[in-house]
Amino acid sequence: MFAIDVSNWQPRDLTPLLEKYRPQLVVVRHALPFEQIDPQHELEQLASIQAFDPTIKIEPYVWVYGSASPVQTALSVGSLYGPGTRVWLDCEDADAPTIGWLATCIEELEALGCTAGIYTRKGWWEDHTQDDFSDLPLWDALYDGIPNVEVFTPYGGWTQAEGKQYGGVDGIDCNVFRSTAVPPSLVPVPQSLDRLWEVAQELEDQEDQQGRARRIKQAIVEVKKVTYRDPTQP
C-alpha cells in the first residue's frame, strides 16, 4: 500500500499531490495547540482528501514531546479523529518522552477508542529507550530508497514493520505499508464535521474559492452517508 505523509509544510489543498501520486493512505500531522500551527491547515488538508477521493484512508500522526502532557496529547488527536483511528506517535525529537510518558499516552488513546503505533528510526529508538513496545505496529523511518516493507532490520523487539518511510519526492515523504495495516472499512473521519462545514462556509464567502468549498461540503455529505443538515439552518 503506497502512502504519503503530510504536515503544515505541505499545502492546505492536497489535490495536486493526490492527483500526481494517487496514494491509498495519507498520514496527516496533527498539530498540538502549543505548537502554534494554524489548526485550520490540518482541517483543510483533511477536507481536500475527502473531496478528491473519500476512499483514501487517513491516519494522523503527532509529535511526542517529553515536556508536554501525554494525556493532553492523546486527547487533542483522539477527540478530533474519534474511535477506531490509529494514531502514530512520532518519536524523533530531542525532547524525548520517557517510557512512562509513552505508556500513559497509549493508555489514554485506548480509552478514547483509538489504537497507537510508533513512528521512529532505529538509531533514535536505541539511543533514547530500551523498552519493548513491539506489541504496537511500527512505522520505520529508514530512507533506503527501497519501497519494500519486508526490507527491515529488527530493533526494539520488532521483527517486522507495518510501514516503512523509504524516500521522498516533491517535498513529501513516500511510504509503503502492509495492505493489512489499515482496516478495509471506511476511513475514520474526524468527528468535528461541523467544524469542516464551517471552514467550507468561510471559503465559500470568498468568491474565488466557491467551487472548492462546494466540493468540500459535498464530500462531507457523502462521508456521513446521510443528508447533512446545514448547521446554519434551524
2-189: in CATH 3.20.20.80: yes
CA angle 80/214/228 to nearest 5° reads 55
Count Cβ neighbours within 10 Å for each residue of 49-64 and write b for 16 or more, e otherwise. Answer: bbbbeeebbbbbbbbb
- Going by C-alpha positions, the residue among 72, 129, 69 that lies closest to residue 98 is 129
DSSP state of 159: S
DSSP state of 86: E
DSSP state of 179: T
Q: What is the pTM assigned to this prediction? A: 0.77
Q: Is the Cβ–Cβ distance between 28 and 6 less than 8 Å?
A: yes
Q: What is the pLDDT of residue 185?
A: 34
Domain locations along the chain: 2-189, 192-234
Q: What is the pLDDT of residue 106?
A: 96
Distances (CA, A) of 137 to 134, 161, 169, 178: 7, 7, 25, 11
Amino acid in position 9 = W
Q: Within its chain, how far is the Cα of 107 from the centroid?
A: 19
Angle between helices 39-52 and 193-204 (to 10 degrees): 90
Q: Is the Cβ–Cβ distance between 164 and 140 less than 8 Å?
A: yes
Dihedral, CA of residue 9, residue 14, residue 18 and residue 24, to nearest 10: 80
Amino acid in position 27 = V
Q: What is the pLDDT of residue 188?
A: 42
> Could you state, in chain order, the average pLDDT of each consecutive group of 10 residues for the chain (234 residues)?
95 96 96 90 96 95 91 94 95 85 95 96 88 93 94 95 94 87 40 56 55 60 46 41
- Residue 207 bridge partners (DSSP): none
DSSP state of 141: E
The grid cell for 91 is 518519536
- Give the number of other CB atoms < 10 A from CB of residue 225: 8
CA angle 60/231/209 to nearest 5° reads 65
Q: What is the pLDDT of residue 117?
A: 97
Q: Within its chain, how far is the Cα of 156 from the centroid?
A: 23
